[in-house]
Amino acid sequence: MKKYAKAAFLLAVLAALTALCACQDSVNTLENTDKTARREYVNSRYFSTDSYCRDRITILGISKTTTDAGLMKLQVQIRSNRYGFWSELWSDIMGANPYHISYRVDWLDAKGMKVNTATSVWLPEILMPGEVKFIQSVAPNANCRDFFISFKEN
Amino acid sequence: MKRNIFFSLAGAAALLGMTGCGSAPVRIDTASSQGITTVHQIDFKDWQIAAEKGISSMLESGAMKRADGRKTVLMVGNVKNSTRENVNTRILTDKIRQAVLRSGQAVVTTAVGAKGAEETAVRQVRELENDDLFNQSTVQKRGTVIAPDMSLSGEIVQQQRHSGRTEESYFFIHMVLTDLATGLAVWEDNVEIAKQGTKSIFD
């Protein structure tokens, strides 16, 4: 009898785990490999103080362009690494699925001074497991040359 | 028995004390992620998100740039509030006009606005032309105020939904830049903000 109870318990655990696996709602992506767009990639330096945030988000690329109005436009491509069984299970338990982050873009002029704008505030971004997002920002004026981006978990 | 009553009373007093505890008011950083988040109202963070997205989109479009090199003169028109809340849309329009000024793409007039002149002094100082108290050569002349080329207007729409204890609000903020010479919209964009919350069973 005891043997049957143990087997039933194991089956129940297995069924629960299978159900949880089926509940995964991670994002699948598809892209062309022969790229036609010529991106102007930006060399960057990443300083992380939060190893969790660093591991959960991959910076896929930073690129820039200049708009018709002569303003610098920035694009940061990020991917949420919170996919896979254990990662999603843990984020579900912690109530962190989808993953909420905030970012802030500060713009600097030709002399490296911060340009005060109405838009240099923390802005929210929500990422599904495995989702790729493109964070974009347009410089507040044509004098802006450099940028500084901050990320944090919410 | 007496001991049980004592512990029960002490426990109840402790619980009452805990529920009575508050926190002293503190200043928060308006640029931070702090602040109260409500479901059915537009919070300051929502205004910041709407302004940032609207400004970025408008500046990127280059719609305010003129072929003759002159700076566009922009007036801030009416932003209609179609929500159930009493909101002051000036929080949004002021952020946008400041960004427009800082961008160098346009200048903003305060002589014309949705509800008449925003700055009444423009007209007021011209009424001094018949006042012999003033040196007439220093009085601003008529026919010198520059009329706007474009108008910024919009509308905020709210949709509320409830399902069980879960409530949701969807704010649709529409902004449009109109060329006043032609009446054509040269730029339009929407910012969508959706917020959801589940009420406690005790509410």
Average pLDDT of chain B? 90
- What pLDDT digit, counting tens, does each position of B92-125 carry? 999 998 999 999 999 999 999 888 888 889 999 9
Best CA proximity match to A154, nearest among A87, A91, A71: A91
In order of start, what are the domains of chain B with their CATH numbers? 36-109+147-203 (3.40.50), 117-145 (no CATH)
**A92 pLDDT tier (thresholds 50, 70, 90):** confident
**Integer angstrom CA distances of residue A111 from A69, A82, A114, A145:** 21, 39, 9, 9
Domain contains A23: no
- DSSP conformational letter for B103: H
Q: Which residues of B touch A137 (CB under 8 A)?
A: 56
Distance from CA of B166 to the nearest CA of A (A): 16
Domain housing A59: 50-154
- Write the pLDDT tens digit of every residue in A57-83: 999 999 999 998 899 999 999 999 988
- Residue A34 domain-assigned? no
Closest CA to A112 of A144, A138, A137, A73: A144
Give the model's pLDDT for residue A24.
Answer: 65
The four Cα atoms B108, B113, B118, B121 give a dihedral, to 10 degrees, of: 90
CA distances, A25 to each of A56, A130, B197, B198 (Å): 16, 9, 21, 22
pLDDT at A144 over 90: yes
Chain B's closest residue to A71, CA to CA, is: B60
pLDDT (tens digit, 9 = 90+) per residue, A31-46?
A: 999 888 888 999 988 8
Q: Is residue A107 part of a domain?
A: yes
In a domain, residue A111? The reply is yes
Is A40 within a domain?
no
Judge: A119–B52 Cβ closer than 8 Å, yes or no: yes
* CATH number of the domain bearing residue A126: 2.60.40.3230
B49, B60, B95 member nearest A123 (Cβ): B49
Q: Which of B56, B96, B104 lies closest to A138 in CB terms?
A: B56
CA B44 to mean position of chain CA atoms: 8
Number of domains in chain A: 1
Residue A59 lies in a domain: yes
Is A134 inside a domain boundary?
yes
Query: Mutating which of B37, B95, B103 best tests the A interface, going by the most A Cβ atoms within 10 A?
Result: B103
Q: How big is chain A by its Cα radius of gyration, in Å?
A: 21
- List beta partners, residue A72: A66
Q: Rounded to whole angstroms, how far apart are CA atoms B74 and B96?
A: 11
Residue A113 lies in a domain: yes
- Cα(A44)–Cα(B102) distance, integer angstroms: 27
Give yes or no for residue A22 having a pLDDT over 60.
no
- b/e for A17-29, b at 16 or more Cβ within 10 A? eeeeeeebeeeee
Q: Digits of tens for pLDDT over chain B (203 positions)?
A: 567 777 777 777 776 666 667 889 999 988 888 889 999 999 999 999 999 999 999 999 999 988 888 999 999 999 999 998 899 998 999 999 899 999 999 999 999 988 888 888 999 999 999 899 999 999 999 999 999 999 999 999 999 999 999 999 999 999 999 999 999 999 999 999 999 999 988 87
Of A79, A74, A76, A77, nearest in space to A54 by CA: A79
**Any CB–CB contact under 8 A between B80 and chain A?**
no
Question: Chain A partners of B102 at a C-beta cutoff of 8 Å?
Answer: 115, 117, 140-141
Q: State the smallest CA–CA distance between residue A102 and chain B in angstroms.
A: 8
B126 residue type, one letter: R
Q: What is the pLDDT of residue B128?
A: 94
Chain-chain contact of A69 with B99 (C-beta, under 8 angstroms): no
What letter would DSSP give residue B118? S
